[in-house]
Amino acid sequence: MNRILTIMAFFSISAVFCKAQTTMVQSGRPIPNAKMEMRRMDKIARTGFEADVLQAAVPHSASARALGYSIGTTNYDLGSNGSVKARLVNFGSKKLSGAFNLGTGDIANGVADRGSGYNTTDGNAKFGARPTKRVEAVRTGFTTLCADADGNEYLFAHQSGYRILMSKKVKGSASWQSTEVPTEVQGGILWSAAAIGGANGKTIHLIALTAPTGTSTNGFLFDDINGAMLYYRSTDGGATWDKKDVALPGINGVRYNRMSSDNYTVTAKGDKVAIASFGDFYDTELWVSTDNGEKFTRKTVFDFPLSNYHIDDLYSVDSIPPAPEGLDPLAILSTDGSGTLMIDKDDKIHLVVGRMYYLDAAVDNGSYTYYPGTNGFFHWDENTPDSLYTIDAYPDIDEDGTINLDGYGTTFNALTCHPTMAQGNDKTIYLAYAVPSEAYVNADQGKNCRHIFIMHSKDGGKTWSKPYDVIDDKSLFDANEYLRELADCTFPYLAQNVDNNLHLIYQMDYTPGMHVSHPSSETIDFEDNFQIYNEIPVSTITKNNDVKAAETFSFSVYPNPATDVAQVSLSIEEASDTKIGIMDCFGQTLRKFDTGWKGAGKHVVSIPTDLHSGMYFITVEMNGKTATRKLIVK
């Protein structure tokens, strides 16, 4: 979608809105927040060490044949509290490695076996069997995967005691050796992100957050900041760390009172290093080093209009830019905390981060309100350093000019979120992200499913293609298309090395939203989440195929969970021959019932469900259309 280079009315006072004199360039697409419910923020940043006593685990099939194919499975479905970390490496010559937060077992004990799941190809672009054990000897979480110029691989994750554990696998070895990243911070550090650069491709650049005080952590203030992003560097593959506990320029108690978990990212290319931080009620900033991390310069990319704002301080409409029509007059534009950095082929930095409106209108309650229907991304690039553009990223599938959603699972991010970028050898930039699709609704929850969309730009990010739905492309997937209707996809990451293909990993399950860190208003099953790998030809993306809505219909299944028999309730508008099937998570049809010709009207069909306990799918075919519902068998 081309960005319309006009300044909207509510951005007309850019001198007030962006004191760094950044020019705001906004798409003319209306924002659907007036139609979206405002929800009280009850998010708690998760470390992974909390005991979870929310919902019991749902029994499930032991295998899955999903979109693309699964390189790993986890029940711990929180991939990040904000930005998606590096978790897929393309070495070239069909050699790839992928990582994710692996966690199975007893949820009441906080998924005691949680750690880094790791998988790699056999040299023929095929990943091995899905891992069943973590890499580390101890419980960890929120892993990052990197590789150096020699092909050595590194996993960074936090462990109990709030320390970052580095696990290193030397090229050619099958074993991992773990050491701690040194810190003298009182209370420790959490939620790391890392990149490898340097002239020889062996310098580790790592950022992490000091453990904040609060419900899920027992940290301490760092220079009056409740959670401060710090920098660490190793020039010898993690043997020693010559920079540790470094507060980058401007990170001090005068400018910040808090920073948020995973609301930052890092990238490196040669001696150039870029680090970005973004959040709700504070500035979006970029730190750049051109000497491999010796010194950094700071630039404010998005200047939040209230300096060092404390939640519950309150403010007036005179101190903020005018809010768009349909939002509370006190609504303030900022970011949603999920962003990505890339250094392009011309050594220029690109930052993309989700947009979000916030509201803090109640005093002394310690919380605030956000607008989850905010659409689009901010895009900053080094070619135009004093401009901040908006990418209108929502895919208007039915092309009616509006966003039509029944609802969607909460991720505590914006409508369009979790961006990830990569660039091809022809300098085409690819932007992948997660967003609820108008075309697919999970009728069990009454919510639209998130899909992974990809846009591309051939002019350095000045204009963008229509969004391309990766999950809709039948030529890419060998899965039974019935499962696609229920697939909810999140946490995408593009490998940085683009050849003739894009290499993508994302997380998929069959329930919109997250079990871990879900709000009190939602009930999300604790179930298998598949880590899906796709190899997508760049020619497929650059064809810019139109996205088309699926033809489907609605039916219900009860009781659910079922034991021996389930009732399928149909509402048929036009007489049709009907067939009902039962599939497992693998996509294999276990039962098929030809229920015959049925006239228009309501019908109830009983089907036997004498199966092993687990998750299954009921499919109904009629009038050339297919619909699917999830069924739990006790």
Q: What pLDDT, in 10s, does the model give residues 171-208?
A: 999 999 999 999 999 999 999 999 999 999 999 999 99
Contact 220, 213 (CB under 8 A): yes
Largest Cα span, the chain: 76
pLDDT at position 333 is: 94
CATH number of domain containing 188: 2.130.10.10
Q: CB-based contacts of 435: which residues, under 8 Å, 6+ apart?
A: 393, 394, 395, 415, 416, 417, 450, 451, 453, 467
Tokens 């916030």 — which residue? 358
How many other CB atoms sit within 10 Å of the CB of residue 213? Answer: 13
Q: Which two tokens stand for residue 633?
A: 């068998």
Tell me which residue of 84, 59, 57, 87 sits closest to 72, measured CA to CA.
Answer: 87
| Pair (453, 519) in one structural domain | yes
| Pair (466, 599) in one structural domain | no
Question: Between 97 and 554, where is the model more confident?
Answer: 97
CATH number of domain containing 599: 2.60.40.1930
Please check whether residue 379 lies inside any domain of the structure.
yes
Distance between CA 562 and CA 581 in Å, rounded? 15
What backbone phi and psi angles, to 5 degrees, belong to 109? Answer: -100, 20
Please check whether residue 37 lies inside any domain of the structure.
yes
What value, to the nearest 5°, has the Cα angle with vertex 1 and ends 454 and 504?
A: 5
Distance between CA 335 and CA 283 in Å, rounded? 9
| Pair (54, 159) in one structural domain | yes
Please check whether residue 547 lies inside any domain of the structure.
no
Distance between CA 135 and CA 116 in Å, rounded? 6
The string of pLDDT tens digits covering residues 136-181 is: 999 999 999 999 999 999 999 999 999 999 999 999 999 999 999 9
| Pair (366, 432) in one structural domain | yes
Q: Which two tokens stand for residue 196?
A: 């490898």
The string of pLDDT tens digits covering residues 396-408 is: 877 777 788 888 8
Q: CB-based contacts of 52: which residues, under 8 Å, 6+ apart?
A: 107, 108, 110, 111, 516
| Pair (400, 274) in one structural domain | yes
Residue ending a domain, among 542, 577, 610, is 542
Distance between CA 588 and CA 582 in Å, rounded? 8
Tell me which residue of 107, 84, 74, 200 sits closest to 148, measured CA to CA.
Answer: 200
What Rg value do the Cα atoms of the chain yield, rounded?
Answer: 24
pLDDT at position 82 is: 95
Residue ending a domain, among 542, 565, 600, is 542
Please check whether residue 442 lies inside any domain of the structure.
yes
Question: Between 373 and 239, where is the model more confident?
Answer: 239
User: If you average pLDDT over residues 46-54, what whole number do you get?
Assistant: 57
Residue ending a domain, among 542, 565, 589, is 542
| pLDDT exceeds 60 at position 64 | no
| Pair (454, 594) in one structural domain | no
| Pairing assessment for the beta strands 23-25 and 387-391 based on DSSP bridges | parallel
| pLDDT exceeds 60 at position 551 | no
DSSP 471: G
pLDDT at position 6 is: 20
| Pair (177, 120) in one structural domain | yes
User: If you average pLDDT over residues 441-448, what whole number do you get?
Assistant: 85
In three-state form (DSSP H/G/I as H, E/B as E, the rest C), the secondary structure along 339-401 is EEEEECCCCCEEEEEEEEEEECCCCCCCCCEEECCCCCEEEEECCCCCEEEEECCCCCCCCCC
Distance between CA 449 and CA 438 in Å, rounded? 8
User: If you average pLDDT over residues 200-225, what whole number do you get?
Assistant: 93
User: If you average pLDDT over residues 344-350, what whole number do you get?
Assistant: 98
DSSP 562: B
Based on the structure, what is the number of domains in the chain? 2
| Pair (289, 235) in one structural domain | yes
Please check whether residue 97 lies inside any domain of the structure.
yes
pLDDT at position 397 is: 79
Q: Which two tokens stand for residue 110?
A: 């906080």
Tell me which residue of 358, 378, 498 sits closest to 40, measured CA to CA.
Answer: 358
Please check whether residue 225 lies inside any domain of the structure.
yes
pLDDT at position 544 is: 58
| Pair (432, 568) in one structural domain | no
Question: Between 540 and 551, where is the model more confident?
Answer: 540
Contact 538, 575 (CB under 8 A): no
Q: CB-based contacts of 243: which residues, under 8 Å, 6+ apart?
A: 231, 232, 233, 293
Quote the domain boundaries for residue 622. 555-633
Name the pTM for this structure: 0.85
| Pair (326, 266) in one structural domain | yes
| Pair (502, 566) in one structural domain | no
| 591, HSE (Cβ side, Cα atoms, 13 Å) | 14
pLDDT at position 548 is: 43
In three-state form (DSSP H/G/I as H, E/B as E, the rest C), the secondary structure along 138-187 is CCEEEEEEEECCCCCEEEEEEECCCEEEEEEECCCCCCCEEEECCCCCCC
Give the range with max mean pLDDT: 66-70, 272-276, 462-466, 511-515: 272-276
User: If you average pLDDT over residues 512-541, what whole number do you get?
Assistant: 85
Determine whether 62 is exposed, middle or buried from the number of CB atoms within 10 Å of its CB (0-12, 13-18, 19+). Answer: exposed
User: If you average pLDDT over residues 318-327, what whole number do you get?
Assistant: 89
Determine whether 522 is exposed, middle or buried from the number of CB atoms within 10 Å of its CB (0-12, 13-18, 19+). Answer: middle
Please check whether residue 108 lies inside any domain of the structure.
yes
Q: Which two tokens stand for residue 206?
A: 């790592």
Q: Which two tokens stand for residue 580?
A: 């009902």
pLDDT at position 347 is: 98
User: If you average pLDDT over residues 452-467, what whole number do you get?
Assistant: 92
| pLDDT exceeds 90 at position 478 | no
User: If you average pLDDT over residues 556-576, what whole number do you get?
Assistant: 89
pLDDT at position 477 is: 46
Of the pLDDT bands very low, low, confident and very high (cuts 50, 70, 90), residue 474 is low
| Pair (537, 576) in one structural domain | no
pLDDT at position 23 is: 37
Of 282-291, 549-558, 570-579, where does mean pLDDT reach its minimum? 549-558
pLDDT at position 552 is: 57
Distance between CA 238 and CA 235 in Å, rounded? 7
Distance between CA 618 and CA 213 in Å, rounded? 46
Distance between CA 69 and CA 530 in Å, rounded? 9
| pLDDT exceeds 50 at position 633 | yes
Please check whether residue 4 lies inside any domain of the structure.
no
Of the pLDDT bands very low, low, confident and very high (cuts 50, 70, 90), residue 51 is low
Note the helical H segments in 384-460. none
Of the pLDDT bands very low, low, confident and very high (cuts 50, 70, 90), residue 586 is low
